[in-house]
């Protein structure tokens, strides 16, 4: 009898949790899609302004960008 009640409780919990899980997955998929809209529709699309030299915190310490090697005050080394 106890095993049946545990199984029933599990099913009830699963029925309660499943819509929340599905909604969470849908929201994450929508977020990924919205983040990539610019990359999909703009010719040669890329995220602009991602160079670490644009960060005020890194500028203050004079740290170079790990991607392009740019130091504060220099042009981005990755741009052509």
* Angle, alpha carbons 33-79-68 (nearest 5°): 85
Residue 14: alpha-carbon gap to chain centroid: 28
pTM over 0.85, yes/no = no
68 touches 61 (CB < 8 A): no
Would residue 69 be called left, alpha or beta, if left means φ above 0 and alpha means ψ between -120 and 50 degrees? left
Same domain assignment for residues 33 and 19:
yes
13 touches 5 (CB < 8 A): no
Domain count, the chain: 2
Same domain assignment for residues 12 and 28:
yes
Given pLDDT bands bounded at 50, 70 and 90, which one contains residue 25?
Answer: very high
Domain with 41, as residue range(s), is 2-47
Same domain assignment for residues 31 and 55:
no
Same domain assignment for residues 40 and 68:
no
Q: What is the mean pLDDT of the chain?
A: 75
Same domain assignment for residues 56 and 39:
no
Same domain assignment for residues 7 and 41:
yes
């Amino acid at each position: 009898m106890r095993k049946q009640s545990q199984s029933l409780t599990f099913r009830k919990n699963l029925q309660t949790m499943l819509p929340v899980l599905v909604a969470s997955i849908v929201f994450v998929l929508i977020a990924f899609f919205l983040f990539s809209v610019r990359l999909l529709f703009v010719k040669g699309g890329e995220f602009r302004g991602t160079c670490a030299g644009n960060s005020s915190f890194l500028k203050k310490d004079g740290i170079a960008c790990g991607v392009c090697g740019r130091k504060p005050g220099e042009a981005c080394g990755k741009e052509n």
